[in-house]
């Protein structure tokens, strides 16, 4: 608590002083029945590190996190959620903000016919998991006409054609920047402590060397502070 | 390590001294693609507590655990696995044993067409998750003709008709005892620290009061020690 107080004190003069930053982090869990769910390998390490770096840069930070085993970072307002729909609600409730950094690995689909009772194993019969599309949090917030954060950042975890997919995602979602990375097994990014990212904007691709997730977070917050500053002038 | 050594020393005279006990614990994760998977809410707390109680009772313990956030208990041989198929292989490799206690929440199904690349979200199209049945670890081991552990214990996590389902499971799986519990939301068992269990055998149903998972583990190991002793005489 002392550390957090010191951070806030130091922070009042940081590059993001007076700004509200919303960060999403971690996976979402989409229920199949009361005991089973669909998950993904996001650890929340990158998103949590970004929230921490934003606090250190002086921002007021709302961190909206899916189920992770990480401690809540000091100095943030934390909202714990499970599903994509809960995460969208929490983001909308946290608006307005100056910057939205949507690092969570949100499930694209949920089970439409999620059972209220545990699905029983019947001889030979397989349950029918009918999927339905989840709300697209990045696109929904980026396309808002009211209280859209002026700087919207999305993440793209890809296993192939990383930059190409990121460019498509940027255009489709309507955000200002995509942080893209390769999460194929060889990369070991998901759950790991380092990250190799590409910053993709409408006009530019910037590739950073492999860094710790903490360093990616600091460098990204520095980059976004400069972008926010640039947009103002 | 000192604690573990002391446990082993004390244990050499326990009721399970000289016995090999295989315990499975935790959930399994079944891949959908490199980043997504199907999981369940098992925390591994009950299975890990049983492994610990068996060590304290003098047994040599092999703990085969799905992905959990718990520390490895002292004094056990631990095998970490992800999927049901990996868990079955690990159990078979750990045989022979005197007692098998299969507390893991093994996924009944896996995705038959798991993708080697991340499944992309295409406009309007939903991926087809074709499910296939996983090996039934409890039934497979209970029905072995060679090196079947003389005492086989299964678990039944139910959300309704708990005892009725447990009796059916006992008969179908061919095990000697089912530890059944109610994991409906009201119970809060999955992930929680206490448990209300029913011990179901071919001839008897015994219902225990709500106990901590540690106490359920100790009481169960005491019960199994007596059963193993009874079978011998």
- Residue A110, pLDDT > 90, answer yes
Q: Which of A107, A131, A184 sits opposite B34 (nearest CB)?
A: A184
C-alpha angle B190-B192-B193 in degrees, rounded to nearest 5? 130
* Shortest distance, CA A166 to any CA of chain B (angstroms): 12
Judged against a pLDDT cut of 90, whether residue A198 lies above it is answered with yes
Per residue in A75-87, pLDDT (tens digit) is 999 999 999 999 9
Residues B97, B144: Cα–Cα separation, whole Å: 13
pLDDT at B128: 76
Contact B129 A131 (CB under 8 A): yes
* Record: contact A37-B38, CB cut-off 8 A: yes
Select the residue from B27, B35, B188, B190 to test the A interface by mutation, using most A Cβ atoms within 10 A. Answer: B35
Confidence of residue B115 (pLDDT cuts 50, 70, 90): confident
User: Are B137 and A180 spatial neighbours (Cβ–Cβ below 8 Å)?
Assistant: no
The 3-state secondary structure of A47-68 reads: HHHHHHHHHHCCCEEEEEECCC
* B209 burial via Cβ count (<10 Å: 0-12, 13-18, 19+): exposed
For chain B, give every domain's residue range. 2-109+129-232
Give the residue on B whose Cα is nearest the Cα of A36: B40
**Partners of residue B117 in chain A, C-beta under 8 Å:** 159-160
Averaged pLDDT of chain A: 90
pLDDT at A204 over 80: yes
Question: Which region among A48-52, A59-63, A211-215, B180-184 has the lowest average model confidence (pLDDT)?
Answer: B180-184
For B2-109+129-232, the fitting CATH number among 3.40.50.10300, 3.20.20.370, 3.40.50.800, 3.40.50.410 is: 3.40.50.10300
Which residues of chain B are at the A interface, by a Cβ-Cβ cutoff of 8 Å? 29, 32, 34-42, 69, 105, 107-109, 117-118, 120-121, 124, 126-127, 129, 131-133, 157-160, 165, 183-185, 190
**What's the pLDDT at B185?**
56
Instruction: Please answer yes or no on whether B38 and A35 come within 8 Å at the CB atom.
Output: no
Supply the pLDDT for residue B118.
78
pLDDT, residue B7, reads: 60
In tens, the pLDDT along A165-187 reads: 999 999 999 999 999 988 775 55
Which residue numbers of B are catalytic?
40
Q: Band of the pLDDT at A101, cuts 50, 70, 90?
A: very high
- Tell me which fold the domain A2-112+131-232 belongs to: Rossmann fold (3.40.50)
- With CB atoms and an 8 Å threshold, state whether B131 touches A129: yes
pLDDT at A157 over 60: yes
Q: Quick one: closest CA in A to B190, which residue? A: A35
R_g over Cα of chain B: 18
pLDDT tier at A192, thresholds 50, 70, 90: confident
Inter-chain CB proximity B133 and A121 less than 8 Å: yes
Residue A7 — very low, low, confident or very high, per pLDDT cuts 50/70/90?
A: low
Q: In this predicted model, what pLDDT tens digit does every residue of B126-160 receive, in sequence order? A: 777 888 999 999 999 999 999 999 999 999 988 78
- Of the partner residues B36, B120, B129, the one whose CB lies closest to the CB of residue A40: B36
ipTM above 0.95, yes or no: no
* 3-state SS class at B191: coil
pLDDT of residue A46: 96
Check residue B117 and give its pLDDT.
Answer: 79
Q: Name the percent of chain B lying above pLDDT 90.
A: 73
Whether residues B109 and A118 touch (CB distance < 8 A) is answered with: no
pLDDT in tens, B41-67: 999 999 999 999 999 999 999 999 999
User: Is residue B222 within a helix (H) or strand (E), and if so which, with residue range?
Assistant: helix B213-232
Centroid of chain to Cα A105 = 6
Residue pairs between chains A and B whose CB atoms are closer than 8 Å: 89
Contacts of A117 in chain B (CB under 8 A): 159-160
């Amino acid at each position: 608590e002392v550390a957090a107080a010191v951070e806030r004190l130091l922070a009042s003069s940081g590059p993001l002083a007076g700004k509200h930053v919303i960060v999403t982090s971690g996976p979402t869990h989409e229920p199949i029945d009361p005991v089973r769910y669909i998950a993904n390998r996001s650890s929340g390490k990158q998103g949590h590190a970004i929230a921490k770096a934003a606090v250190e840069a002086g921002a007021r930070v709302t961190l909206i996190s899916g189920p992770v085993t990480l401690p809540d970072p000091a100095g943030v307002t934390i909202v714990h959620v499970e599903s994509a729909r809960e995460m969208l609600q929490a983001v909308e409730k946290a608006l307005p903000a100056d910057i939205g950094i949507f690092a969570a690995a949100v499930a694209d689909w949920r089970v439409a016919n999620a059972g209220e009772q545990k699905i029983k194993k019947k001889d030979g019969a397989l349950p029918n998991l009918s999927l339905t599309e989840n709300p697209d949090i990045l696109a929904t917030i980026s396309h808002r006409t009211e209280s859209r954060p002026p700087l919207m950042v999305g993440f793209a975890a890809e296993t192939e054609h990383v930059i190409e997919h990121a460019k498509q995602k940027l255009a489709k979602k309507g955000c200002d920047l995509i942080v893209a990375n390769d999460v194929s097994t060889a990369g070991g990014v998901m759950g790991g402590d380092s990250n190799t990212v590409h910053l993709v904007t409408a006009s530019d691709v910037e590739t950073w060397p492999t860094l710790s997730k903490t360093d990616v977070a600091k460098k990204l917050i520095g980059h976004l502070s400069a972008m926010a500053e640039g947009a103002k002038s």
